[in-house]
Amino acid sequence: MHERATTPNPSPAGAAIVLFRHDLRVADNPALHAACAAHGTVYPLYIHAPEEHGDWKEGGASRWWLHHALCALDARLRGIGGALQVYRGDTLAVLRGLLADGGVGAVYWNRRYEPTAIDADRHTMAALRALGVAVHSHNAALWREPWDIANEAGRPYRVFTPYWRKVRATLVPDAPLPVPRIRGWRPLPGSLAIDALLLRPRIDWASGLGDAWTPGEAGAAELLEIFADDALADYARARDLPARHGTSRLSPHLHFGEVSPRQVHHALADAVARSPSSRRPDLEPYLRELGWREFAHHLLYHFPDTPTENFNPAFANFRWSPPDPVHLEAWQRGRTGIPLVDAGMRELWHTGWMHNRVRMIAGSFLVKNLRQHWLHGARWFWDTLVDADLASNTLGWQWVAGCGADAAPYFRVFNPVTQAAKFDPDGQYLRRWLPELADAPTALLHQPWKDPSLLRRSGYPAPVVDLAASRDEALEAWRTRG
DNA sequence: TTTTGAGTTGTTCGA
DNA sequence: GTCGAACAACTCAAA
């Protein structure tokens, strides 16, 4: 494997700070790599500054993940000669306090793409430069910067397929950057213990998360290896079956930057090259999914109001139902009476994650059958998903609501019964998450309301709405929008 | 990354 | 053995 050249003899440019945010890894980390190459002393820093996320501060599941990811990062840094220094508060104020003490002449970070984070970073960058501190920002999260991709007219893409054609055409599996060595590190004053950030939940609701996930670079590497060896070959088919581990499940690791798209691409291309030519996996379907992740960041950068505003103005007067706390809570708790929706919502609550196919179906049920505004769904996912990501969450909810980019030419309403029969034909996924129905015959498992005695025996709820009638009402609301 | 209904063809089974 | 009703299985187009 060839590696990018590193500068062997750095100029003695004083000490540098590397600010970690959503790039919690030491391998293939451009900011860390550049700082270590150019400076004799490097301080790795994490500053907890939730106000930089505006209305989208980390939710409960994200905070749980972040706690463990920071611990894992600290251990990794100790392995290469440093340790994570942890602070809380305003980024600029914390940095100012450390500049003199540490003899710091430069600050390195990897770029963020959320609108409020961009503003915060611009502000910090300008203020540091005014103080005479060099600031270097890098790309650690994306294959392509959103501002580098434009259509023939020079405007941002609004539809996935042409966007992906453009990006895919020049995409090659570049070699990741090596793990650098930190020299000349010493503790900085005022560094907190990670525990002091109080990221972990007070009451222990997170045991299901711990059973399902290993936050950190090593956990990401393990999932990537398993995916490359086992699931990639059958990905195109198995990725739609929620009972199977047919997807990579790398989304939370990618969100927190414990692995980069470049590392994933490189590792998978390598696995493809190593497999016998007779049955060589097709990498395209999976790369395309990472392409959706890129497209989400592209859209968030170019259309920064989409986390709360419809992308498609045709939805401006759509008649959402008034917020309905009873329906909303039934959906959140997995008690709507629609098995595939409830199974997905319970998987989410228990593990902090939901299979992508089921996200679309549970989302469709909330915004179409219950006709609750997509922001109710986006907010709940934001709080409960370990992979909650403003770009991907926004794209997903706008897509399923029909008001997003790349909208279908029809008003899409998923049928959770048909979808369950198609993608969970033997009911394995439903039985896993709906134990009260585990003994029901498969035909009834998909529509338990057909047997009232089954509902009585099991305690499983009757549907909160009639699927056919609520579908027709949603279509009517769309036809007659103002 | 869909659903539904209409239309067509094929199969089953009882009179 | 034949007929036709009933239904399953499939394709297609519209939304």
What pTM was estimated for this model as a whole? 0.95
**Do residues A437 and A443 make contact, with C-beta atoms less than 8 angstroms apart?**
no
Q: What's the DSSP call for residue A336?
A: S
Which nucleotide does the CA of A356 lie closest to, via C1'?
Answer: B1
- Closest nucleotide C1' to the C-alpha of A412: B2
**How far apart, in Å, are the Cα atoms of A417 and each of A81, A201, A341, A443, A468?**
55, 36, 10, 10, 11
User: Nearest nt to A161, CA vs C1'?
Assistant: B1
Question: What gap in Å lies between CA A222 and CA A216, rounded to an integer?
Answer: 10
Nucleotides of B under 7 A from a protein CB: 1-4
CA-to-C1' span, A479 to C5 (A): 39
Residue nearest to nucleotide B2 (CA to C1'): A412
CB A29 within 8 A of CB A140: yes
The CB density around residue A421, as the number of other CB atoms within 10 Å, is 17
pLDDT at A13: 62
- What are residue A379's phi and psi, to 5 degrees? -65, -40
Lookup: nucleotide whose C1' is closest to A239 CA: B1
pLDDT in tens, chain A (482 residues): 333 444 444 344 689 999 999 999 999 999 999 999 999 999 999 999 999 999 999 999 999 999 999 999 999 999 999 999 999 999 999 999 999 887 999 999 999 999 999 999 999 999 999 999 999 999 999 999 999 999 999 999 999 999 999 999 999 999 999 999 999 899 999 999 999 999 999 888 889 999 999 999 999 999 999 999 999 999 999 999 999 999 999 999 999 999 999 999 999 999 999 999 888 999 999 999 999 999 999 999 999 999 999 999 999 999 999 999 999 999 999 999 999 999 999 999 999 999 999 999 999 999 999 999 999 999 999 999 999 999 999 999 999 999 998 888 899 999 999 999 999 999 999 999 999 999 999 889 999 999 999 999 999 999 999 999 999 999 999 999 87
How far apart CA A279 and CA A276 sit, in angstroms, is 6
Q: Which domains are delineated in chain A?
A: 15-140 (3.40.50.620), 142-176+216-304 (1.25.40.80), 313-479 (1.10.579.10)
> CA A182, CA A186: separation in Å to the nearest integer?
10
Torsion sign, CA atoms A85, A86, A91, A93: negative
Those residues whose C-beta lies under 8 Å from the C-beta of residue A32, and which sit 6 or more positions away, are A18, A26, A42, A44, A108, A180
A475 nearest nucleotide via C1' and CA? C15
One DSSP character per residue, A36-80 reads HHH-SEEEEEEEE-GGGGTT----HHHHHHHHHHHHHHHHHHHHT
Please count the other Cβ atoms lying within 10 Å of the Cβ belonging to residue A477: 16
Structure tokens at A121: 């970073």
CA-to-C1' span, A312 to B4 (A): 25
**R_g of chain A, CA atoms, integer Å:** 24
Q: C1' nearest to CA of A357: which nucleotide?
A: B1
Residue A54 CA to nucleotide C6 C1', Å? 62
DSSP A82-115: ---EEEES-HHHHHHHHHHHHTEEEEEEE---SH
The pLDDT, as a whole number, for residue A107 is: 98
Say how far A189 CA is from B1 C1', in Å.
Answer: 51
Residue A9 has what pLDDT?
40
Q: Which residue is nearest to nucleotide C15 (CA to C1')?
A: A410
**CB A250, CB A103: distance < 8 Å:** no
Query: For chain A, how are helix, strand and coil distributed in percent, rounded to 5?
Result: 55, 5, 40
Evaluated on CA atoms A394, A301, A53, A84, the torsion sign reads positive
Output the distance from A413 CA to C4 C1' rounded to whole Å.
Answer: 38
Q: Which amino acid is at A278?
A: S
Length of chain A, please?
482
How far apart are the C-alpha atoms of A286 and A291, rounded to whole Å? 9
Protein footprint of strand B, defined by Cβ closer than 7 Å to any strand atom: A 160, 289, 292, 356-357, 360, 408, 410, 412-415, 418-419, 422, 467-468, 471
In the structure encoding, which two tokens stand for residue A55, read together? 């209305």
- Cα distances (Å, whole numbers) of residue A89 to A54, A92, A479: 14, 9, 49
